[in-house]
Structure 1
Amino acid sequence: MADQPNVLHALSDLVADRKASPPAGRSYMVSLLNGGVPKISGKITEEAAEVVEAADEPGDEGKSHLVKEVADLVFHSIVLLGCRDLPWSEVEAELGRRFGISGIVEKESRGNGEAG
């Protein structure tokens, strides 16, 4: 969406705001934050499995489903980052650092202790 280039930053900011000042009433995001890393991680595991399943679905309907599931995965990942007091910009910076570097070279540069 060309008109919303900062939607991931806006979502990251919203997570930080909701964590600092939870709104009155029901909020899915706040319920995730209140559940902490275990609850959010469970949702990420669930969403990742749904991404893999949707990737095998044929046609335009399958593509649409895949986009929606990836959006869910990104959303929950941003909530997890916020739970750990990390903004989306940290992920962007890491991706920027890796951009243009061979994946093999980048992975070798991490050493044995880093997952990837």
Structure 2
Amino acid sequence: MDILHELYQTVEGRRQEKQEGSYTCYLFEKGLDKILKKCGEECSEVIIAAKNGKQEDTVGELADLLYHLTVLMVNEGIPFEAVEQELARRHQKQGNLKQFHQVDKNT
């Protein structure tokens, strides 16, 4: 089984069956604001680690971010398959560079 699917199932299980001492259960108990705060913190840590150029640190921070994003998905009732489907849909697109609005400075 894919490790991200396993992670999702584990997090989902922690939401359904509380386990004392579980960090995942703690996040669910604290609620959406805490989960979002942790996602933001981890995102910032990914950026810092990547900027510092040490791949080992960046990998660790990416794993932390993916974990917290998974907690967010479970908390919000977003099935893992929904994200997979969206990624697959986007993968089919060709030439999807966003066109930026051009400002006519003469008007």
1:18 maps to 14
CA–CA separation in structure 2 for the residues paired with 1:89 and 1:28: 24
Instruction: Please point out which of 60, 83, 86 is paired with 1:94.
Output: 86
**Structure 1: which 5+ runs fail to align?**
108-116
Instruction: Please point out which of 89, 93, 104 is paired with 2:97.
Output: 104
Aligned residues: 98
**Structure 2: which 5+ runs fail to align?**
100-107
Tell which structure's C-alpha radius of gyration is larger.
2
Please state if 1:77 is matched with 2:73.
no
Structure 1 segments, 4+ long, off by >2 Å, are 102-105
TM-score scaled to structure 1, two decimals? 0.77
TM-score scaled to structure 2, two decimals? 0.84
2:37 maps to 42
CA–CA separation in structure 2 for the residues paired with 1:27 and 1:72: 15
Task: Give the aligned CA root-mean-square deviation in angstroms.
Answer: 1.6
1:7 maps to 3
